[in-house]
Amino acid sequence: MAPDSQLDLFGSAGIDPVVPAEAVDFDAIPLSASVPIPPETYDSIAAITAHCDRCQRCGLSEGRTHAVVGRGNPSAPIAIIGEAPGQNEDEQGLPFVGRSGELLEKILASVNLSTDREIYICNVAKCRPPGNRNPTPAEIAACKPFFLEQIRLVDPQIVLLAGATAVKATIADKRGITKIRGQWFEWEGRLCMPIFHPAYLLRNPSREKGKPKWLMWQDIQAIRRKLDELQAPSV
């Protein structure tokens, strides 16, 4: 991996991404985006949550009710990375709990996947942007090391990127989500697939062949097959 891509993964411009975790002022991490969060900084999701709850690394902290860290099985084989919390998520402190979350649960259940067993969900940004706008590049850079540490700790076999913001923050593919959804990529040594965000499906409710909901049905079946393949006993 090129040095500039490592810099993008683990911090904002000017921050050394390979600084040892033990050399970082741990207590200063949630106070300033200028403090790096190297890999292996955290030993548990609970430790990440504690920092996110008092994080001031970007201006989104000023308007939050709750930091929204994650939910689901912390040892899940599939992780879903969303974009940012909405109003319901901000109020409850959990990702994907509004209408989008209800639809996501139905999609997962259609192929016998559950947040109790196979799924862990988190967002690129942990605090709600005003007016539900997309998080800015600076806000993503400030928060991104948290979700990278979440993925490291959960250690899923498959990572699903729900929406364009999640795609840009991870595989950095500039193509539109309609162009790359359903395709398998490798990211951080893991199988990764961009999928439509459930909010997009709510805005496009047709089940007609070729429409977003129909395409999502094809994708979730492919994801189920891939998980079964990865978990099949070796002969």
Q: Global pTM?
A: 0.90
Give the residue numbers spanning the domain of 92: 3-231
CB atoms within 10 A of CB 88: 17
Going by the DSSP 8-state scheme, the letter that residue 137 receives in this structure is H
Considering its fold, how many domains does the chain have in total? Answer: 1
Q: What is the pLDDT of residue 1?
A: 38
Going by the DSSP 8-state scheme, the letter that residue 17 receives in this structure is T
In tens, the pLDDT along 114-149 reads 999 999 999 999 999 999 999 999 999 999 999 999
For the chain, the average pLDDT equals 91
Q: Which residue has the tokens 């949550």?
A: 49
CATH number of the domain bearing residue 85? 3.40.470.10
- The residue among 36 and 18 whose pLDDT is bigger is 36
Name all contacts of 35-39 with Cβ < 8 Å and 24+ positions apart: 36/10, 36/11, 36/145, 37/10, 37/11, 37/145, 37/146, 37/148, 37/149, 38/10, 38/145, 39/10, 39/148, 39/149, 39/152
Residue 10: pLDDT above 80? Answer: no
In tens, the pLDDT along 179-218 reads 999 999 999 899 999 999 999 999 999 999 999 999 999 9
Tokens coding 54: 């008092």
The fraction of the chain above a pLDDT of 90, given in percent, is 86
Going by the DSSP 8-state scheme, the letter that residue 233 receives in this structure is P
Range with the poorest average pLDDT among 17-26, 82-91, 191-200, 215-224:
17-26
